[in-house]
Amino acid sequence: MKITDVLNKENIELLPSINSKKVLIDRLIEIASKSGKILNVEEVRKQVWQREKLMSTGVGKGIALPHAKSNYISAETGSLIVLKQGVEYDSSDDKLVQIALLLIGQESNFGNHLNLLGTISRFLDNDYLRSSILEAETKTDILNLFKKLEGNS
């Protein structure tokens, strides 16, 4: 599975700012729910927040990767928010988060979920990709960046 199997124009938002980690994660879940793949939004929200309580998903370099496994989805889904102004997120390096990518995987397909999280982490560790995402003017620009990298992986 590729990132572009999970992300599309409808579940990406480019925003000037968000005022808190809570608002950011809740907005990511709301955007992902538009896919129609989330069968119970409140249960998924609980699962994402339970995972977040274990350890912050602010992985550093301005990136957050909130995620959860769930039986309340019909297929892998997610969302991406890119912020012009970062938000405090309890990240491992204390940097403000500007790129937040939510991934909800199926409980029954744990391997696929881990593989996709690994791919996302590897891609977002790329300085060029991160800066290109932050400079992107449209959702299509962001999708094209991921498509280009997936074609080369």
How far apart CA 47 and CA 119 sit, in angstroms, is 22
Give me 63's structure tokens. 């990136």
* DSSP, res 76: -
User: For the whole model, what pTM was predicted?
Assistant: 0.92
Residue ranges with strand state E in 47-144: 58-60, 63-64, 67-70, 77-87, 97-106
Closest to 103 (Cα-Cα) out of 22, 21, 20, 37: 37
Which conformational region is residue 122 in: left (phi greater than 0), alpha (psi within -120 to 50 degrees), or beta?
alpha
**Domains defined for the chain, CATH in brackets:** 3-152 (3.40.930.10)
| pLDDT tens digits for range 18-67 | 999 999 999 999 999 999 999 999 999 999 999 999 999 999 999 999 99
Beta bridge partner(s), residue 69: 105
